[in-house]
Structure 1
Amino acid sequence: MVFEGQVYTVAAINEAIGADFATDVLGIIRNDETAGLSQALADVHGKIEGRSVADVSFAPPYRNPPKLWGFGPNYHRHAQDLGTVPPPNGPGAWSRAVRNLIGPEDEIILPPQSNRVTAEAEIALIIGKECRNITPEEAPSVIFGYTTMLDMTAEDLLRENLRYAARAKGFETFCSVGPFVVTADEIDDLQSVRIATKVNDEVIADSPVSMMVRDPYWLVSYHSQMTVLEVGDIIGTGTPGAGVITDGDLVRAEVQGVGELRNRARAAR
């Protein structure tokens, strides 16, 4: 947990107060322990030692989400970049194998099968309550929080045939999330949150959630019409713009109020 720029482990909190909170993010979500942990941290703050955020190496919030989903194109600009238009009845959707998932500072491996890989910054939703067939108005009640995502695409394969979306996005290391999870109550105005894709020092795209074709609550409802949403599911919401990445490039996804995610691209060896 992060408080005033310091990172505190749940294990240290448990030891300080004799508690038994889950020590992994997915367990905390499943057990609905956020409020209790926040109070516990407030009680022990100053009594246990934390570490500066700058001194901590982060992994993905968890490596075993029940489902890992993406949507797109969900911004008009990105659709134009791909030479298409957003589908009228809802964006395209795809799932990924959990093995695809990487975290902050891990390497994005550029596969030899593609000559044009792009990286896309997104705000991702984390489901906190199992649900099915919910309305957009009900969606806020099932969202645990938000994290930062980088979604990679072998764009030349996708342009060859849109039916290749699963392959174009299915290479290992093609989805990164983290380093932080921000609970839904910490975002005062979701529509104003800005998402930026950056490659090295270049800002590729920077847009607020309000520029989405379909807002996050609509996406949760839409997805719940297809399948049960499980606690811990991670859902990407689309990108305002994708940047081409090559060997050695530093890719950054910045989500206002949620955090910055950094990964470097490396050619497959």
Structure 2
Amino acid sequence: MKLATVYHEKTEKAAIVHEDSVFLIETLNEMENKSWATDIFSLIETNKVEEIENWYKTVGKKLLDRCVAVDKLKIKFAPLYRSPRKIWGVGLNYTEGKTDLKHISYQDPVSFMKPDTTIIGPNDAIHIPKASTNTTAEAELAIIIGKSCRDINEEQAKSVIAGYTTALDMTEADIHAENHRYLTRAKSFDTFFSFGPEMITPSSFENVDALTVKTVQNEKEVHQNKVENMRFNPFFIIAFHSKVMTLLPGDIILTGTPGATVIRDGDLIEAHITGFSPLINTVIQTN
């Protein structure tokens, strides 16, 4: 099942994406006499995503033909939500293939955090900071946590995922190059995290390892790799961070990128992942 947040009557509202149409949760509530929350963050917090998915699979698909829909191509998508408690990122997480991992110089994930003030959504503009000549963008698969968890293992991690989504993570690379301890500052400028347009539930994927993640710049593929080539798989990443802190519904974990690309004023930057609609953002140089 695919969920999204769309602009409708000047408000950001949760919706199901079914084939080429979008169905507002508020419309489904009226049709089915339900009381589901009408924003995705609340749906995750109240543990209703699985209930909606069960409805969708057993009843909903057949009923949507008589439900008022919006053409997916005629609607503007927003970020999935705007106020997660935590945004974690993982760096340096892909190999070029099934290489010998004993040559890696670190044993744990290289992780960092981003503030929610970095959040933008599909088709919003990424603003390159003043005087920056080396801002980069990276396409990533993002995990959305669905259940509160602490100190879990990899197998348990599979059951706490609400969904996956596409993301673009930006970095002011000159700040990071000046001193690697400046990583958080380099990644925390406004507009430096885009995610959406869709959250897809885990049951929609037979094998997450088979997903391909691509960074596309000005309609040209610049980096690509498969999840199976991650040094630390998504379930390990969840379990690892849960041993540091309690993970909460709506927390977001970026799983790393196949590669970064320098972005310039006027660029179009995209994240493409198997099974998802592309996440596309424009780029503006701040004067």
- When normalised by structure 1's length, the TM-score is 0.93
Return the alpha-carbon distance in structure 2 between the equivalents of residues 86 and 70 of structure 1.
Answer: 19
Return the alpha-carbon distance in structure 2 between the equivalents of residues 12 and 33 of structure 1.
Answer: 16
Letter paired with 2:166: T
Matched, 1:126 2:144: yes
Residue 76 of structure 2 is matched in structure 1 by 57
Residue 30 of structure 1 is matched in structure 2 by 45
Residue 180 of structure 1 is matched in structure 2 by 198
**Candidates 230, 239, 244, aligned match of 1:221:** 239
Give the alignment's Cα RMSD to 1 decimal.
Answer: 1.5
Letter paired with 2:154: P
Letter paired with 1:33: K
Residue 82 of structure 1 is matched in structure 2 by none
Letter paired with 1:41: G
Matched, 1:42 2:61: yes
Letter paired with 2:247: L
User: Shift in Å at residue 192 of structure 1?
Assistant: 0.6
User: Shift in Å at residue 87 of structure 1?
Assistant: 4.6
Return the alpha-carbon distance in structure 1 between the equivalents of residues 218 and 193 of structure 2.
Answer: 18
**Candidates 22, 26, 47, aligned match of 1:7:** 22
User: Shift in Å at residue 179 of structure 1?
Assistant: 0.3
Return the alpha-carbon distance in structure 1 between the equivalents of residues 25 and 254 of structure 2.
Answer: 27
Return the alpha-carbon distance in structure 2 between the equivalents of residues 87 and 185 of structure 1.
Answer: 35
User: Shift in Å at residue 73 of structure 1?
Assistant: 1.2
Q: Deviations over 1:164-183 (max 9, x none)?
A: 10111011100000000000
Within-5 A mapping of 1:191-202: 191-202=209-220
Q: Deviations over 1:87-127 (max 9, x none)?
A: 52212211111111111001000002522011000000000
User: Shift in Å at residue 46 of structure 1?
Assistant: 2.0
For the structure 1 residues 68 and 87, does the alpha-carbon distance in structure 2 shift closer, same or farther, using more than 3 Å as the test?
Answer: farther
Within-5 A mapping of 1:132-147: 132-147=150-165
User: Shift in Å at residue 10 of structure 1?
Assistant: 0.5
Return the alpha-carbon distance in structure 1 between the equivalents of residues 238 and 105 of structure 2.
Answer: 17
Letter paired with 1:36: E
Residue 80 of structure 1 is matched in structure 2 by none
Work out whether residues 129 and 230 of structure 1, in 8 Å CA contact, stay in contact via their aligned partners in 2.
Answer: yes
* Runs of 4+ with deviation above 6 angstroms: none
Determine helix, strand or coil for the equivalent of 2:228: helix
User: Shift in Å at residue 86 of structure 1?
Assistant: 5.3
Matched, 1:74 2:89: no
User: Shift in Å at residue 43 of structure 1?
Assistant: 5.6
Work out whether residues 117 and 155 of structure 1, in 8 Å CA contact, stay in contact via their aligned partners in 2.
Answer: yes
Work out whether residues 137 and 217 of structure 1, in 8 Å CA contact, stay in contact via their aligned partners in 2.
Answer: yes
**Candidates 124, 132, 145, aligned match of 1:114:** 132
Q: Deviations over 1:50-82 (max 9, x none)?
A: 1111111000111111111101011135xxxxx
Matched, 1:91 2:114: no
Residue 261 of structure 2 is matched in structure 1 by 243
Work out whether residues 73 and 86 of structure 1, in 8 Å CA contact, stay in contact via their aligned partners in 2.
Answer: no
Residue 3 of structure 2 is matched in structure 1 by none
Matched, 1:266 2:281: no
Return the alpha-carbon distance in structure 2 between the equivalents of residues 33 and 139 of structure 1.
Answer: 18
Matched, 1:158 2:176: yes
Letter paired with 1:23: T
Return the alpha-carbon distance in structure 2 between the equivalents of residues 6 and 112 of structure 1.
Answer: 40
Work out whether residues 13 and 41 of structure 1, in 8 Å CA contact, stay in contact via their aligned partners in 2.
Answer: no
